[in-house]
Amino acid sequence: MENTRNTKQKQHILSILSTAKRPMSINEIYSCCIETYPRIAKSTIYRTIDSLIKQNLIDKYYLSDNELFYQIKDNSTEHKHYVICNSCKKIFHLPNCPIHSIQDSLSEYGFDVTDHYIQISGICKECRKKADT
């Protein structure tokens, strides 16, 4: 059973993610949440995120080694992957999914891919420019 406070926090996190329109880390979500709920615990955010994932309302992404990112699912069926800049942590999305062709060849072997993750990190153009000067 869910109490109303949980529901409110859930709505709040969803609205943060829908405003951001990009994947956010727990720390980013947390710092947005404490503006409205100054006493919210990080564990509450983890719990809320977990249940949003179970409800299929948000997606999780592995972008850098020790951090997960979360993004709201939009209505489009478009499936996206992201890359992250190690330096400024800016997030870019891949123009297409390179896994789909792998998925097709796996299905020829009768293997059904139910989920996949791509983790790519590097240095963005802006940061490379800064490093050069």
Give, for 28, the enclosing helix (H) or strand (E): helix 26-36
Residue type, 19: T
Instruction: By CB under 5 A, name the one of 88, 94, 106, 113 that touches Zn ion.
Output: 88
How many of the other CB atoms lie within 10 Å of CB of 52? 20
Nearer to Zn ion, 42 or 130 (CB): 130
Nearest approach, Cβ of 13 to Zn ion (angstroms)? 24
Instruction: By CB under 5 A, name the one of 60, 62, 97, 121 that touches Zn ion.
Output: 97
Nearest CA-CA partner of 89 in 59, 123, 120: 123
- 124 part of the interface to Zn ion, by CB under 5 A: yes
Quote the tokens at residue 91.
Answer: 């997030």
Q: How many residues bind Zn ion (CB under 5 A)?
A: 7
Judged by the rule CB under 5 A, the positions of this chain that interact with Zn ion are 85, 87-88, 97, 99, 124, 127
